[in-house]
Structure 1
Amino acid sequence: MSQPRVTVVVVPRESFNMFPEVIERAYRLTKTPFKMLIMEGKAPEAMRERFREFERTLPDCKVVWSNRWQFPHELVNQAIPMIETEYVVFIDNDVEIMEGCVEALVEAADEEKVNCVHPIYLTTTLKTNEHKIHVAEGKLVKQKRNGSYFLDSIMPYSGKKLEDYPDKRRKPSDFFEWHAVLFRTSLLHKIGPLDDLTIAEHVDYSLRLTAAGEKILLEPKAVGAYDYERIFELRGEDRDYMLYRWNVKRAADSLEKFRAKWNLHPDSTVRRLYWVKEHSGRVRQTFLMPRLINRLRRTVGMPNMPFVNEPRPVVQGIDKN
């Protein structure tokens, strides 16, 4: 058997409950030889026992243990010095990859001579027939505003069905997401570790790649899926870790650092912070007391409590003139 050219690194994103399934799926659906690096992130003890079994029984599988919860960017940074293969594919521990995803990413990097390739990202589980696109080729648009820049990320095919995506050819992309992405390992050493950001870290690293003269490529034959609705099922340590991961103050601090670093207008980040508040607010409403309050509200004809106690921000977009 040939030596692996790629390492698959699985990193906790916001919960743990799909972690073993994501690892098993990677082994089941990837035919090319690969090394596996599991960034464990202090998962629940029952799951840690599964990882010990994986390390004993799965080929080229190594677990990196943590003694505390960590943020995804911290675990990515820990993994980078451990990668010995030509390529690395990072996969979040709540992402389902389609068969052939890893091979398609490696093939695209080989043939196009690029150092960063990402798949199409879906926002629904692969178990449904509604394979809705989250991001295909990402677009970043920039506009000067009062001495700073308004930066917006655009996802042209968001919400469209995967089968309706019109152009299956590889194409340039302005940004990737950490849900699943391939790098040539030498590129990571060239660009350096991720900054200490808990949100917008994908845009930040994409901007750093572009500033270094690197290209990002979309490979539509590769597909990864993240099911947003699963957050309503999180309980116990999963729910607690999710709220730790999306701590609003930590996100606000991260966005302020991101904004200052790239000289961005405040409108560039307000919607991202609102998303964190809404995302964590949805999960907080799964605790017993908010559920009882919402049930009582519905019995008297009132809507559920809002996820966020502030209006959704309205931002002036890019001037097309």
Structure 2
Amino acid sequence: MTQPEVTLVVVPRERFSYTQQSLESIYENTDYPFELVYVDVCTPKHIQQYLQEKSQEKNFKLVRTPHYVSPNQARNVGLRHVTTQYVVFIDNDVVVKRGWLTKLVECAEETGAAVVGPLTCLGQPEHQVIHNAGGENRIKIKEVDGKPQRCIRQKTYLTGEHVVNVPDELKRVQCEYVEFHCMLVRTEIFDGTVQIDEGMLATREHIDFCLMVLEAGGTIYCERDSVITTDTLGISKNQKGLMALTGSIQIPDFEWSDLPYFMLRWNDAWDLASLTHLRGKWNLYEDKYFHKRYKGLGGRRREILIKPLVRRLTFGKGSPWLEKILSSLETRFNHYYYKRYIQKLPQAKQAQAAEMLQSVEVLQSAMV
């Protein structure tokens, strides 16, 4: 029997400095045959050169975009080059554990699933603290002021658990969503109504995609015997505890060349536009699910840029007032940076991009 064909599509998540570690992890720890399409979203020159050399050595397809694009836009760029039975979307900061792809394909073949995700771990050391093990993702009808309203409800399984503490839970489960950090998809699902929606620019892309898959009658599984780790920039709960005990300060491995894409990837305008698009597309009520995320705009930038800076300036003690001041300044800079980005867009897209930023500024003024 012929083995199913698989293409990996690597896209940027938020930075480029982990490119080599991630790509080498894939080639060193994947024992299932695969093709690979790497979407190079205007990486810095030294990384571009590395990718060019590696694409010739490993014979994978390297596609470079003329300017920065969102992760979903990059996924569609890569998907155009996929002709295999399965596609695996994987972020460029992911490292994988040996056997990961074999387990994903076996799950899809044995269950007929349209989508399969691995056990996704977080931070360093690798493959130890669970970020996502599948979850619930559904739209429920809720009475609000006597009227039925459509509300989204999510629940993530095993988040924050240490792998060694939950061995009995690390089994294949059917669920309602997995994440785009790493996601195997049966390509025939794209023949119908399911698509990678480019209106989802920065957040909740996996939620939107999995809702489409479920609505189309597809099934979703988390194969917890397949393990990957993402977000090596993040500081997991166990690392925070270690810092408290030792007094050491952990500064994330973040290079200056990562900053331009990082600032665009997590800009407030894209975040809010994604939430607005999700709400309109699925006719969802603007409840606490959305209000919580409105308040959290810019949270990723604060986590990776502001909080480490505050810890450094205060010798590890932290300072809420300093964090608030720096966050306010950073928000202004982020809006300025986004305006500069708008000027580089084709004229036909500038008005829409400017409207996104204006919506953010109105929302943030109302929350002050």
TM-score by length of 1: 0.85
* 8 A Cα contact 1:105 1:182, kept in partner: yes
Map Cα deviations across residues 51-82 of structure 1 (whole Å, 9 max, x no partner): 11111111x41100112111100010111121
- Taking the TM superposition and a 5 Å limit, the aligned residue runs for 1:20-39 are 20-39=20-39
Aligned to 1:108: 107
**Unpaired runs of at least 5, structure 2:** 236-250, 329-368
Distance 1:126 1:297 in 2: 21
- Taking the TM superposition and a 5 Å limit, the aligned residue runs for 1:162-173 are 162-165=163-166, 166-173=168-175
SS at match of 2:298: helix
Distance 2:312 2:118 in 1: 41
**Unpaired runs of at least 5, structure 1:** 310-321
Which has more helix, going by share of residues?
2
Distance change in 2, residues 1:45/1:265 (3 Å): same
Q: Out of 295, 301, 305, which is 2:323 matched to?
A: 305
Aligned to 1:151: 152
* 8 A Cα contact 1:120 1:223, kept in partner: yes
> Which residue type is aligned with residue 170 of structure 1?
R
Aligned to 2:14: 14
> What is the CA-CA distance between 1:303 and the residue it aligns to?
6.0
* 8 A Cα contact 2:7 2:88, kept in partner: yes
Map Cα deviations across residues 63-115 of structure 1 (whole Å, 9 max, x no partner): 00112111100010111121011111111011111111111101111111112
Aligned to 1:212: 216
* 8 A Cα contact 2:38 2:78, kept in partner: no
Distance 1:34 1:284 in 2: 36
> Which residue type is aligned with residue 134 of structure 2?
E
* 8 A Cα contact 1:123 1:228, kept in partner: no
Aligned to 1:181: 183
Q: Out of 290, 310, 319, which is 1:269 matched to?
A: 290
Distance 2:221 2:37 in 1: 24
Aligned to 1:319: none
Distance 2:159 2:278 in 1: 24
Distance 2:151 2:289 in 1: 5
> Which residue type is aligned with residue 45 of structure 1?
K
Aligned to 1:221: 225
Distance 1:90 1:126 in 2: 23
> Which residue type is aligned with residue 234 of structure 2?
E
SS at match of 1:82: coil
* 8 A Cα contact 1:297 1:304, kept in partner: no
* 8 A Cα contact 2:10 2:91, kept in partner: yes
Verify: 1:237 aligned to 2:239, yes or no. no
> What is the CA-CA distance between 1:293 and the residue it aligns to?
9.7
Distance 1:86 1:12 in 2: 23
Distance change in 2, residues 1:97/1:271 (3 Å): farther
> What is the CA-CA distance between 1:132 and the residue it aligns to?
1.1
SS at match of 2:53: helix
SS at match of 1:159: coil
TM-score by length of 2: 0.75
Distance 1:297 1:157 in 2: 30
Distance 2:222 2:101 in 1: 13
Map Cα deviations across residues 236-274 of structure 1 (whole Å, 9 max, x no partner): 220221111011122112211111211222222233344
> What is the CA-CA distance between 1:156 and the residue it aligns to?
3.0
Q: Out of 192, 195, 219, which is 1:192 matched to?
A: 195
SS at match of 2:264: helix
SS at match of 1:36: strand
Distance change in 2, residues 1:108/1:292 (3 Å): closer
Distance 1:221 1:3 in 2: 20
Aligned to 1:313: none
* 8 A Cα contact 1:175 1:216, kept in partner: yes
Aligned to 2:300: 279
> What is the CA-CA distance between 1:228 and the residue it aligns to?
4.3
SS at match of 2:234: helix
* 8 A Cα contact 1:4 1:35, kept in partner: no
Distance 2:191 2:323 in 1: 47
> What is the CA-CA distance between 1:4 and the residue it aligns to?
7.1
SS at match of 1:229: coil
Aligned to 2:131: 134
Distance change in 2, residues 1:87/1:291 (3 Å): same
